[in-house]
Amino acid sequence: MTDVMSPTEAETDRALKARHRTMWALGDYPTLAVDLISPLGPALVAASGVGPGDRVLDVGAGSGNAAIPAALAGARVTATDLTPELLDAGRAAARAAGAELEWEVADAEALPYPDGHFDAVLSCVGVMFAPHHQRAADELVRVVRPGGTVALLAWTPTGFIGQMFATMKPYAPAPPPGAQPPPLWGDEAHVRTLLGERVTEVTATRGTVTFDRFGTPEDFREYFATHYGPTIVVRRSLADDPDRLAALDRDLVELARRNDRGDGSLVLDSEYLVVTARRA
């Protein structure tokens, strides 16, 4: 169980979560999820092995990239996220897909569910953005039943999206004390440490998803500058420093150029890690 915070710590945490909620409501993450990462949710659901009748929790569900495929596989799904706007988009996507599931606002670091309530807990590039990794991992394990499954998909530190976060880091406001970088969830050793001896049968596999909708590196930069909350926040923090903003934009273009494997149009491969485990 997560340690109880003091009143001051609790107030600081609420302010931090409010900033996260605002960040993910910026731009158009639901469209980005469809355009760029739609294969990831089904890949995670397949790796988890969830099926008809399973009680499944999707943590950091966003607009349902994993939750909707899990529901279509017959699971009884509760999709949670800190950002209501993403859940609203998920409800619409679920209706269009003919999927039935529950959508609830919840903090990954303080899930409002009893111990051992779910057969499986999933998170597809979601829980990795919770600032306090151990708190979030403790909650993932707590709410899954003994013998149940934890299945996580996260960007690796060395993959393209991990490199993008490293590119933005020198330009971003300093993180609050205790916050950890999201791509650490894509490091197998880090995730094993977070889950600890509370789980068994840990497996870790790597995969890649290809971004091929951008004609040029500049197109990539512009898309993320208008669609992706973390990029929007960093760029807004530089509004009074046009030279640094221009430098960030150049660095993002160079990042795409350096990773391009296309011939005439931009083709980028981004690596991710899938970890599955069974609660002891």
pLDDT at 77: 98
Going by the DSSP 8-state scheme, the letter that residue 117 receives in this structure is -
Structural domain of residue 97, as residue ranges?
A: 7-212+268-279
Ranges assigned E (strand) in the chain: 55-59, 76-81, 102-105, 118-124, 144-155, 199-211, 268-279
**Is 220:211 a contact under the CB 8 Å cutoff?**
yes
Tell me, yes or no, whether 251 lies in a domain.
Answer: no
Tell me, yes or no, whether 56 lies in a domain.
Answer: yes
Tell me, yes or no, whether 236 lies in a domain.
Answer: no
> In 3-state terms, what secondary structure has residue 180?
coil
- Which residues of the chain fall below pLDDT 70? 1-7
Tell me, yes or no, whether 245 lies in a domain.
Answer: no
Tell me, yes or no, whether 244 lies in a domain.
Answer: no
Angle at 263 between CA 260 and CA 266, to 5 degrees: 40
Render pLDDT for 96-155 as a digit per residue (tens, 0 to 9): 999 999 999 999 999 999 999 999 999 999 999 999 999 999 999 999 999 999 999 999
pLDDT at 3: 58
What sign does the CA torsion over 96, 61, 27, 219 have? negative
pLDDT at 86: 98
Q: Name the amino acid, one letter, at 129.
A: F
Find tokens 């988890």 and name the residue. 48
Tell me, yes or no, whether 231 lies in a domain.
Answer: no
Tell me, yes or no, whether 222 lies in a domain.
Answer: no
d(CA 187, CA 129): 14
* CATH code, domain carrying 48: 3.40.50.150
Tell me, yes or no, whether 261 lies in a domain.
Answer: no
Q: How many domains does the chain have?
A: 1
